Each structure stands twice: as structure tokens, then as C-alpha cells.
Amino acid sequence: MRFRRLGDSELEVSEISLGSWLTYGAGVEREQTAACTRAAFDAGINFFDTANVYGGGAAEAAWGEILADFRRDSYVLATKVFFPMAEGDGGLSRAQIHKQIDASLERLRTDYVDLYQCHRPDPETAIEETMEALTEVCEAGKARELGFSEWTVEQIEAGLEVPGAKSWVSSQPQYNMIWRAPEAELIPFCREHGISQIVWSPLAQGVLTGKYKPGEPPPADSRAASDAMNWAMDRYSSDELLEAVQRLVPIAEEAGLSMATMALAWVLREENVASAIIGASRPEQVHANVEGSGVELSRDVLEAIDEALDGVAVIEPARANFAQEGVKHR
């Protein structure tokens, strides 16, 4: 496992990280969650990403119980705030940020998180209020660093310009061979401002493993076949896209790589990416995915990938689900 620095912070994170979206506390049972977490440590992963809203708090609670068996300084822990946890709350107001960090820490059974991320932007709240509250969280020792997920460049810049506020060190966008939208504006801006990418869905929710075939039902044990975990896969389900992904299979075979390894190596070819978040429901998936760390793809392979996905890859800036544009000031 190789490690990369997270933005301008002192945090060193594994190139492959373990996430808990749609899985732990929701679609995956407690025993499997523990097995996958132990497998991550065994494989050299030190970075674990969750959010308060995953499973309505269940993902944080599961990891709070499991990670208690490991030394706190042996891993980097990240969580998020924005989505409502109860009727009438949500967003990035000062009150919500302070309320939700305390609730997250209680579920996670820890005094602090290493990275506290704004899960989506909140243009209904003044950016000054949000950044001041996040800075207060860090000054109180409840978080070490700050990040965001699926913000526009305008919103990121507004956060950086708040006087006296702690700066961002990370961005968490969707990014993979198919979804290349961050390359247009986000990554260049972040590179200039000491902000690293922690990317979600590097395997396009499993589509880039090649296991989903055009015109065929998904494998019974796959995410696409699970009602608890398949709701966000619409943009990866067209036959045209699945046919393009099948054109990647011989490219991976000729390079001597699995499809998953090639997809992860493709994401990590970008120096601004600090870590690629994987999801896993079985320990063997964890061990298979860590093989993407340290693999360098040749120019010929990269060009072949581009040719195979020509016409289906998203290359223009695109807004994520639940993300809103705009910035509010006091």
C-alpha cells in the first residue's frame, strides 16, 4: 500500500480507502462489516470514510464499535455533515454543525475525527457562518481537518475567502473512467489551492469490474441486485455504456490486470487524488481492490481506455445529486 499526503495537511492516507455508503449499517450485516474492516487493516488501509446520514447513523455506530478494537492513532477517520438526521434539521448552519459533530463523535466512540466534510453545499446558509462553525469544531479539538463533497469551484473559493477560517484540505467528488467531470474545473482549482481529491465510486459502483453485461440481469450477489444498495446506479445502467465497458476487458487482460485494478490505477494516475474510496461487502473484495495501489498504466493502455469509452465518458462539469449551486453571504 502506498500513501499520499492529504492536501496541505499533515495527514497521510492510504491510496485505497474503505467507505461505508450504502453498505455498513444498511445493506451489509454487522459480521461482514467487521470482517471487511479487519481486512482493510490487514491490507494496509488506514483511511476510513463514513457520514452521519449513512444508514441513519448506523454506519457510524457500527464503526464506532468495531474501530474501538484498534489504536486510535493507527487510522484516519472521516465523516460528514449536511443531510437531515431528523425532521427539521439538516444543512450547514452553525447550530447544525455543532449538533451533528457531537452526535457523530458519540456514535463513533471517539473524541475527534481526522477529517470533517460538508456532504453537500448549503446555499441557504451564509458561507461565513458555515466556515466559522467548522473552524470552531477544529479549535475545540473535535476535528483535525476540513473537507467538502460535490461543491462547485465558486463555493469552494468562497469558503477559502472567509477571514480567519480554517482552510479546506480535501474534496470528495465522484470520479472514475466514465465520470470524468472533476477534470474540467474542480481538479485544476484544487491543485492550485492545496486541496486533494478523495474520490468516491472509482469503480462506478462496480460497473467497471465488467460484471454487468448489456442485456443481462445483474448477478444475484451484486450491488445492482440489492434494493438496499442499487438506487444510485441509474447513470451507469445503459446498454451503450455497458457495451463500452466490455471493450475494456481485453485491454485489462493484455496489461495483465483485473478490471478493478485497472480502474483504480486509472483514478490514482491523477496526482491530485490522495485516495480512492472502495466499498466492500466481503473481505476478499478489499484484498482484491488494494492491488490498485502502486500500479502505473502505460500510455498505450491509457489511450486504449480513452478510445474504448469514447462517447460515453462524462467530461463536462456536472452537478451531483442533491447539490445546489450558488453562495449566500451575510
Q: Is 300 within 8 Å of 29 (Cβ atoms)?
A: no
Residue 209 has pLDDT above 80, yes or no: yes
Total domain count, the chain: 1
Confidence of residue 221 (pLDDT cuts 50, 70, 90): low
DSSP 40: H
Residue 327 has pLDDT above 60, yes or no: yes
Catalytic residue numbers, as ranges: 54
Radius of gyration for the chain, computed over Cα atoms and rounded to the nearest angstrom = 19
97 domain-assigned: yes
Q: 47-49 and 76-81 as β-strands: parallel, antiparallel, unpaired?
A: parallel
pLDDT in tens, 224-275: 444 544 445 456 668 999 999 999 999 999 999 999 999 999 999 999 999 9
113 domain-assigned: yes
CATH of the domain at 13: 3.20.20.100
Q: Is 321 within 8 Å of 232 (Cβ atoms)?
A: yes
178 domain-assigned: yes
218 domain-assigned: no
Identify the helix (H) or strand (E) that includes residue 156.
helix 153-160
213 domain-assigned: no
> Residue 229's pLDDT is what?
44
257 domain-assigned: no
- The string of DSSP letters for 198-238 reads EEB-TTTTTGGGT-SPTTSPPPTTSGGG-TTT-TT-GGG--
pLDDT in tens, 69-93: 999 999 999 999 999 999 989 999 9
234 domain-assigned: no
In 46-128 the beta strands, taken as DSSP E runs, fall at 47-49, 76-81, 113-118
pLDDT in tens, 115-138: 999 999 999 999 999 999 999 999
Confidence of residue 161 (pLDDT cuts 50, 70, 90): very high
Q: What is the pTM of this model?
A: 0.93
Cell numbers placing 87? 425532521
Q: What's the whole-number average pLDDT of the chain?
A: 93
pLDDT in tens, 29-39: 888 889 999 99
Q: Is 248 within 8 Å of 210 (Cβ atoms)?
A: yes
> Residue 218's pLDDT is what?
65
Angle at 6 between CA 147 and CA 83, to 5 degrees: 20
Cell numbers placing 95? 447550530
237 domain-assigned: no
As a whole number, mean pLDDT of residues 287-305 equals: 97
Show Cβ contacts of residue 73 under 8 Å, excluding neighbours closer than 6 positions. Answer: none
Domain hosting 65: range is 3-200+270-296
pLDDT in tens, 3-39: 999 999 999 999 999 999 866 666 678 888 899 999 9
